[in-house]
């Protein structure tokens, strides 16, 4: 049985989600797990849950046994919870983290026809993850359609003052489907309010806090 199948069956069988499998130089096998997530009922806030050390130890013990049975070679096994740059792989991941700031990389550049204000060669973007909105008079967006919204603010030199009267860069939006992505991750933004908070400038220049 292939490594991915063994790990996936073991992790899911223990009641966890498999987030990522990484093989590093030196024989390190790193497995990232998370607790299963289901969309909360409308109007009900989902409680934040975290993987514990005990969870990681339980998965480690079972994986060591499963990998030994199938003679999978590795030197060190590391099981951990997702970091602040958690990868987004599946539809449920995008639903769970809608409203958060994410980094995405497209498989192919936008191309001149779709670029608009953005460079046609650009593949990497950072913005707030949202469901793609239905355009007036158009059919509903395809299942799994998303968009990120951002402002391309000019770089500010260290120590330079930024005038509050400086006009904001225009909001931009990029629609995409999961099939168009090479990689998607939560943006590694540290907040004293926790992973669930991010701030962006709203269309009127107000700071909007996203929970």
* Distance in angstroms (rounded) separating the CA atoms of residues 114 and 131: 19
User: pTM of the prediction?
Assistant: 0.75
- The answer to whether residues 197 and 100 touch, using CB atoms and an 8 Å cutoff, is no
Tens digits of per-residue pLDDT, 74-85?
A: 999 999 999 999
> How far apart, in Å, are the Cα atoms of 163 and each of 156, 160, 166, 167, 168?
11, 10, 5, 9, 11
Edge-first strand order for the sheet with 181-186 is 171-177, 145-151, 124-131, 101-106, 181-186
The set of residues, in sequence order, having a beta carbon less than 8 Å from that of 131 and lying 6+ positions away, is 98, 141, 145, 146, 147
- The residue extents of the domains of the chain are 3-80, 91-210
Express each pLDDT in 24-39 by its tens digit.
888 999 999 999 998 8
User: Within 10 A of 60 (CB to CB), how many other CB atoms are there?
Assistant: 16
CATH architecture of the domain 3-80 equals: 2-Layer Sandwich (3.30)
**Strand positions, DSSP E, 28-100:** 28-34, 76-80
Helices and strands, number each (H, E), in the chain: 4, 10
Would the pLDDT of 66 be above 90? yes
Question: Would you state the pLDDT for residue 115?
Answer: 55
């Amino acid at each position: 049985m292939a490594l991915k199948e063994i790990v996936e069956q073991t992790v899911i069988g223990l009641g966890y989600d498999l987030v990522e499998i990484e093989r590093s130089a030196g024989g390190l096998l790193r497995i990232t797990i998370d607790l299963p997530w289901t969309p909360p009922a409308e109007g009900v806030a989902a409680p934040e849950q975290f993987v514990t050390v005990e969870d990681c130890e339980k998965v480690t013990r079972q994986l060591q046994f499963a990998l030994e049975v199938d003679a999978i070679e590795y030197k060190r096994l590391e099981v951990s919870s997702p970091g602040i740059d958690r990868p987004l792989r599946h539809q449920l991941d995008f639903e769970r983290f809608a409203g958060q700031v994410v980094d995405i990389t497209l498989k192919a550049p936008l191309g001149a026809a779709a670029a608009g204000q953005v460079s046609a060669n650009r593949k990497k973007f950072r913005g707030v993850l949202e469901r793609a909105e239905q355009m007036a008079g158009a059919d509903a967006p395809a299942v799994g359609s998303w968009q990120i919204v951002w402002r391309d603010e000019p770089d500010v030199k260290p120590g330079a003052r930024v005038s509050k009267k400086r006009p904001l860069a225009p909001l931009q939006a990029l629609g995409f489907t999961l099939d168009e992505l090479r990689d998607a991750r939560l943006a590694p933004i540290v907040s004293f309010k926790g992973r669930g908070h991010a701030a962006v400038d709203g269309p009127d220049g107000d700071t909007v806090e996203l929970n």
